[in-house]
Amino acid sequence: MGDDLESRAVHPLWRRAWEVRQELFEPHIRFERPSATLAVSVTGTVCALRCAHCNGHYLAGMRTLDDPALGRARSLLISGGCDREGRVPVLPRLEEIARLAAGRRLNWHVGLIDEATMLAIRPYAHVISFDFVGDDDTIREVYGLDKTVGDYVACYEMLRRHARVVPHLTIGLYRGRVRGERRALELLRSLGAEALVLIVFIPTPGTAYAGCEPPSIGEVVDLLAEARVRFPDVPVRLGCMRPGGEYREQLDPLAVEVGLNSIVNPARAAVLAAQRLGLRIEWGDECCVL
């Protein structure tokens, strides 16, 4: 990838994605380093699912509701481990959450909750982050749930009736392979979305998928470009969950080149790419959906 943007020039889809961005968005990109948003687990490190890609690993890095640091945060990500139906049990902790909500924006990551739970949290929900999956086998193997894509569609539609919802799509969720992601994009295009966050599978020690490789950079960029083209007037973002190191150094500038609107914790190469492309850079310090 050089200053003449050879990487995009030899990929028609990537080139078209950049053209879509130029046609429909201002020459502006937002980079987030979300230090002002703290992630909270309402279940501590407990999760009934112990999913193949996570096994509760990421819960350990979250705060608990009694952590005094939460009082100094500008915004919160409310999350936690799931029950056997794929729901984060937020209702038993709702009174505590409501006290923390005063003067703060809350992003809720609560899984396949029912409508009664959605109605209960609605007064405190600035946005719902919803993991969308486009393949039944992925749902069964990764999450161990007896659910289908239809269940995810129904939950997504219900949530959107009551709150702003931003779907998240994990590229390579099934053993690091691309499977169902394009169907998910098709479904979301027909269902509607105000914004879209794309993240990338991370091989994580202590999980069933620890030995899997992440999807190739080319596969990921193809899907980023497809998302840009399929959602021409919708903000498309590269979220915080993706491999680090050299993988990120290669991926992030290409995400800029195919027209994404924002990147969380960008590699330095992404900042340089944005400057080279003449994009005005804005820095933020909260969760990208906020």
Supply the pLDDT for residue 112.
98
Q: What is the DSSP string of 224-272?
A: HHHHHHHSTTS-EEE-S-S--HHHHHHHHHHHHHTT-SEEES--HHHHH
Of 90, 40, 82, 83, which Cα lies nearest the Cα of 61?
40
Measure the CA angle with vertex 265, ends 27 and 159; round to 5°.
80
Q: In angstroms, how far apart are the furthest CA atoms of the chain?
A: 56
* Domain-embedded: residue 59: yes
The CATH number of whichever domain residue 104 belongs to comes to 3.20.20.70
The rounded distance, in Å, linking the Cα atoms of 210 and 217 is 19
* Domain-embedded: residue 277: no
Rounded to a whole number of angstroms, the CA Rg of the chain reads: 18
Tens digits of residue pLDDT in 74-115 = 999 999 999 999 999 999 999 999 999 999 999 999 999 999
The rounded distance, in Å, linking the Cα atoms of 155 and 265 is 30
* Domain-embedded: residue 235: yes
Computed over every residue of the chain, the mean pLDDT equals 96
Whether this model's pTM surpasses 0.75? yes
Using CA atoms in the order 288, 60, 148, 287, what is the torsion angle rounded to 10 degrees? -10
If you average pLDDT over residues 145-172, what whole number do you get? 98
* Domain-embedded: residue 183: yes
If you average pLDDT over residues 216-232, what whole number do you get? 97
Supply the pLDDT for residue 9.
56
pLDDT at 213 over 70: yes
The two tokens of residue 41 are 């687990």
DSSP 19: H
Q: How many domains does the chain have?
A: 1
If you average pLDDT over residues 224-248, what whole number do you get? 98
If you average pLDDT over residues 267-276, what whole number do you get? 98
C-beta neighbour count of 11 within 10 angstroms? 19
Q: Is 34 helix (H, G, I), strand (E, B) or coil?
A: coil
The rounded distance, in Å, linking the Cα atoms of 170 and 200 is 5
pLDDT at 2 over 90: no
Supply the pLDDT for residue 8.
57
Q: Are 271 and 252 in contact (CB under 8 A)?
A: no
* Domain-embedded: residue 21: no
If you average pLDDT over residues 177-199, what whole number do you get? 98
* Domain-embedded: residue 104: yes
* Domain-embedded: residue 256: no
Which residues form the domain of 145? 35-239
Tens digits of residue pLDDT in 16-70 = 999 999 999 999 999 999 999 999 999 999 999 999 999 999 999 999 999 999 9
Supply the pLDDT for residue 1.
37
The two tokens of residue 102 are 């005063």
